[in-house]
Amino acid sequence: MPDARRRVPRVDHVLADPDVVAAVGRLGRTRVKAAVDEALAACRAGRVDPEDVVAAAVAALPDEPVSMRPVLNATGVVVHTNLGRAPLSAAAVHAVALAAGATDVELDLDSGLRGPRGAGALAALAAAVPDAGGVHVVNNGAAALALVTCALAVGREVVVSRGELVEIGDGFRIPELMESLGARLREVGTTNRVHLADYERAVSERTAFVLKVHPSNFRVEGFTSAVPVAPLTGLGVPVVADIGSGLLAPHPRLPDEPDAATTLRDGADLVTASGDKLLGGPQAGLLLGRADLVQRLRRHPFARALRVDKLTLAALEATLTGPVPPVAASLASRPGDLLDRARLLARAIGAPAEAVASEGRVGGGGAPGVPLPSAAVALPHHLALPLRQGSPAVVGHVHDGRLLLDLLALPPEQDAALADAVRRVLAPAPAGSAGRGA
């Protein structure tokens, strides 16, 4: 009887197959070679026929070169931290692809000499916030405050209200960040109340600056008082305002959310903010304010460690100069239009889908407690897991025993993909097949 192992194809023959070559170009040789080795081992064990080795190897490979999977955000949270915060606009995505190759990010093409890094993005940011004398970009919001601390407050005091010593996501605490960099915090007031006189008594020759932090992910209500930026500017030391969410100008749906333009007009010397929240751009930290202070920050040695790459600069510039980004579009959406979309989707999906009114949120630590009227497709709650495990993954939220697929943060062009994903989950399994967990 002939030895079946003689029919096992050679590794180099499998790797030369056009389908395998194409997979190498998409995923890299290491990953594809591992899949080929596994398919050949299965062939030697008699689990895969020799003529099926290529198909088995290709079938075992992922569709994409990264482990992250695309998700349809049906949570109703516009800036969802666990889903990567702000989705980029089509213009920003195109800009990232353009910047992925060789670019003039730090080259003057006319002179052939080194040019200013990210000049286009910085110019766009300056144009978006004309009240800023200078602008700079670092790699996230915490980095912006860290750079201010390193440049201005090492070995000195920073005066801050006790009610603004905030902790944000994943246990990150702003006071611990600043103290780790060498600043000494001088806390004033109480958790719920602080007055201008508290700041006045605390400021001394040891004070580097007064810090005003927007408590963006919580609200304190009842017997409270706080001091806005404007009165703090008369204390004789710089005022640094961390506004958090990256809102550059006032927004009608978020009247209590601080914005960079108003904060600078109120007299803040420096404003720090995030670029990947309400601005709707890539992860970045924004620094805006007095030209001399911004220049001092830019030239500080620590600034090099916080420098953003060319992809971020490209995406930020396109976000600032291009069409309305998805975050802004979501905030501008009208509840009636969302409900119309939900009704169309419910009809397209069929029973048991139902269109219902819902409430969304800004998310990402922005506008806590501010509901955003929205609409959703309601489904049985047990569909949450299979929808998350589908392709694309669909993430909604369970409320009152039903799964709500909220449309606030979902662009209209993704409605068809959402309907298809739900229909696949609702479709009965073929006769004789075993479902997951059977």
Per-residue pLDDT, 271: 97
Give the C-alpha separation, 184 to 155, whole Å.
7
Q: Which of 146-155, 171-180, 393-402 has the lowest mean pLDDT?
A: 171-180
In terms of Cβ atoms closer than 10 Å to its own Cβ (0-12, 13-18, 19+), residue 334 is exposed
Give the C-alpha separation, 397 to 409, whole Å.
13
Per-residue pLDDT, 381: 96
pLDDT in tens, 67-103: 889 999 999 999 999 999 999 999 999 999 999 999 9
Per-residue pLDDT, 6: 72
Per-residue pLDDT, 427: 87
The pair of structure tokens assigned to 141 is 């919001």
In terms of Cβ atoms closer than 10 Å to its own Cβ (0-12, 13-18, 19+), residue 112 is exposed
Q: State mean pLDDT over 231-236.
A: 96
Q: State mean pLDDT over 102-125.
A: 94
pLDDT in tens, 280-338: 999 999 999 999 999 999 999 999 999 999 999 999 999 999 999 999 999 999 999 99
| Comma-separated ranges of CATH 3.40.640.10 domains in the chain | 89-323
Per-residue pLDDT, 5: 62
Of the candidate CATH numbers 1.20.1740.10, 1.10.3260.10, 2.40.30.10, 3.90.1150.180, the domain formed by 71-81+329-426 belongs to 3.90.1150.180
Q: State mean pLDDT over 36-42.
A: 96
Is residue 397 classed as helix, strand or coil in its secondary structure?
strand
Per-residue pLDDT, 191: 84
- pLDDT band of 437, cuts 50, 70, 90: very low
Would you say domain 89-323 falls under CATH 3.30.565.10?
A: no
Per-residue pLDDT, 438: 29
pLDDT in tens, 256-272: 899 999 999 999 999 99
Q: Is it the case that residue 435 has pLDDT exceeding 50?
A: no
pLDDT in tens, 384-394: 999 999 999 99
Q: Is it the case that residue 278 has pLDDT exceeding 60?
A: yes
Provide, rounded to the nearest whole percent, the portion of the chain with pLDDT above 70: 95
Provide, rounded to the nearest whole percent, the portion of the chain with pLDDT above 90: 84
| Comma-separated ranges of CATH 3.90.1150.180 domains in the chain | 71-81+329-426
Per-residue pLDDT, 373: 96
Strand segments, DSSP code E, in 6-94 are: 71-73
For 220, residues 6+ apart whose C-beta sits below 8 A from its C-beta are: 163, 191, 192
More confident site: 172 or 242: 242
Q: pTM higher than 0.85, yes or no?
A: yes
